[in-house]
């Protein structure tokens, strides 16, 4: 099955004191919120951008950046291992003489699966010494393929397009700002789940591939969680809609449909372990939205070639 329970944490930083005390307070609060998230039994938890350094100036963050593994990340890795939960840990990362704004993916075993470096740091990050990452990076989990984009990345199409080319199904978005409509646009245009984790009291969201908001955090509920099914695809209603009843007649509740009428698309998900959405698309001769648009573009090009 491709069902994955995702949890997102909203956290704007603990009590500000000296630089070292601020980091210590942040780490304590992060661990508290991670334990709080465990109550929803998630498979993966995402923390906000630069979590352990929130409340510090950009220059202080750069100065305090740690290598991976490091003292702080090892505490998060120990939590992940103890509780058998994937954890996305955003931090300032030192690599030799370079510093990156990174998101570290930690496995259920407490192992460091991989690191994504923010491709588009802000101007003031770069001026403070943060180096840009090179490219978006997919991570393969047992549920499906996921990716990460960090804060300012949301303004640049190369990040989401790179993830989409790699068939990523869910994009985690640790950030300083909520993103709002931009998250929904990325979700809809690229057919992905978006899971944001914001460095604030509220505003984190989980958005489905139709751009519909599933849940939003608040100051009363800083941890949000829901189950998402990564065995899905987005299809256009054209040439497909008349086949939905046939699919339901054969598979019943094993296949679910969510239609977005204004945009003329629908989300099809498989709830059966042995029957994938790809199997159903092939069996019934369906066409994904991406394939349909490519076919339409090809038809246009052919028509243009015939014009005098």
Mean of the per-residue pLDDT values of the chain: 97
Tokens representing 42 are 């998630």
CA 274 remoteness from chain centre: 26
**CATH class of the 3-229 domain in this structure:** alpha beta
What pLDDT is attached to residue 72?
98
Nearest 5°: phi and psi at 273? Answer: -65, -40
Burial class (CB in 10 A: 0-12, 13-18, 19+), 5: middle
Is the model's pLDDT at 15 over the cut of 90?
no
- Contact in structure between 234 and 267 (CB atoms under 8 Å): yes
Higher pLDDT, 274 or 261: 261
The whole-number average pLDDT for the span 212-231 is 97
Give the β-pairing of 193-198 and 170-175: parallel
Which three-class secondary structure string do you get for the chain?
Answer: CCEEEEEEECCCCCCCCCHHHHHHHHHHHHHHHHHHHHCCCCCEEECCCCHHHCCCCHHHHHHHCECCCCHHHHHHHHHHHHHCCEEEEEEEEEECCEEEEEEEEECCCCCEEEEEECCCCCHHHHHHCECCCCCCCCEECCCCEEEECCHHHHHCHHHHHHHHHCCCCEEEEEECCCCCHHHHHHHHHHCCEEEEEECCCCCCEEECCCCCEEEECECCECEEEEEEECCEEEEECCCCHHHHHHHHHHHHHHEEEEEEHHHCEEEEEECCCCCCHHHHHHHCCCCEHHHHHHHHHHHHHHHHHHCC
Q: Taking a C-beta distance cutoff of 8 angstroms, is the pair 95, 117 a contact?
A: no
> Taking the CA atoms of the chain, what radius of gyration do you get in angstroms?
21
More confident residue, 205 or 308: 205
The whole-angstrom separation of Cα 57 and Cα 152 is 17
**CB-based contact 138:114 (threshold 8 Å):** no
pLDDT digits (tens, 9 = 90+) for 133-176: 999 999 999 999 999 999 999 999 999 999 999 999 999 999 99
Nearest to 47 by CA among 58, 32, 62: 32
* pTM metric for this prediction: 0.96
Edge-to-edge strand list for the sheet holding 232-236: 232-236, 265-270, 255-260
Q: Give percent of the chain above pLDDT 70.
A: 100
Q: What is the pLDDT of residue 307?
A: 81
Tokens 């009428």 found at: 261
Average pLDDT over every residue of 25-42 = 98
Burial of 302 (0-12, 13-18, 19+ CB in 10 A): exposed
Domain residue limits, the chain: 3-229, 232-297
pLDDT digits (tens, 9 = 90+) for 271-306: 987 899 999 999 999 999 999 999 999 999 999 998
* pLDDT at residue number 1: 58
pLDDT in tens, 44-80: 999 999 999 999 999 999 999 999 999 999 999 999 9
pLDDT band at 308 (very low <50, low <70, confident <90, very high): confident
What pLDDT band is residue 242 in, cutting at 50, 70 and 90? very high
Q: CA 3, CA 207: separation in Å to the nearest integer?
A: 15
């Amino acid at each position: 099955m491709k069902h994955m329970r995702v949890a997102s944490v909203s956290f704007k930083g603990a009590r500000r004191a000296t630089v070292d005390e601020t980091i210590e307070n942040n780490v304590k609060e992060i661990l508290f919120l991670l334990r709080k998230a465990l109550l929803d039994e998630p498979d993966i938890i995402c923390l906000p951008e630069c979590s352990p350094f929130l409340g510090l100036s950009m220059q202080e963050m750069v100065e305090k950046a740690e290598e991976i593994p490091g003292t702080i990340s090892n505490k998060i890795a120990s939590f992940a291992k103890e509780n058998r939960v994937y954890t996305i840990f955003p931090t300032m990362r030192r690599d030799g003489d370079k510093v990156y704004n990174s998101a570290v993916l930690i496995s259920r075993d407490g192992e460091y699966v991989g690191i994504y470096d923010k491709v588009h740091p802000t101007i003031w990050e770069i001026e403070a010494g943060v180096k840009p990452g090179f490219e978006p990076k997919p991570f393969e989990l047992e549920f499906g393929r996921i990716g990460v984009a960090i804060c300012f990345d949301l303004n640049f199409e190369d990040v989401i397009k790179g993830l989409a080319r790699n068939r990523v199904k869910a994009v985690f978005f640790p950030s300083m700002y909520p993103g709002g409509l931009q998250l929904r646009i990325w979700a809809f245009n690229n057919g992905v789940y978006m899971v944001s984790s914001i460095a604030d009291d509220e505003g984190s969201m989980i958005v489905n591939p139709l751009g519909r908001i599933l849940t939003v955090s608040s100051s009363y509920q800083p941890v949000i969680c829901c189950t998402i099914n990564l065995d899905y695809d987005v299809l256009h209603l054209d040439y497909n809609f008349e086949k939905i009843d046939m699919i339901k007649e054969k598979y019943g509740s094993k296949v679910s449909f969510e239609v977005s009428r204004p945009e003329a698309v629908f989300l099809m998900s498989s709830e059966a372990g042995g029957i994938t959405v790809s199997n159903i698309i092939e069996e019934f001769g369906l066409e994904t939205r991406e394939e349909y648009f490519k076919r339409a573009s090809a038809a246009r090009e052919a028509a243009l070639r015939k014009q005098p």
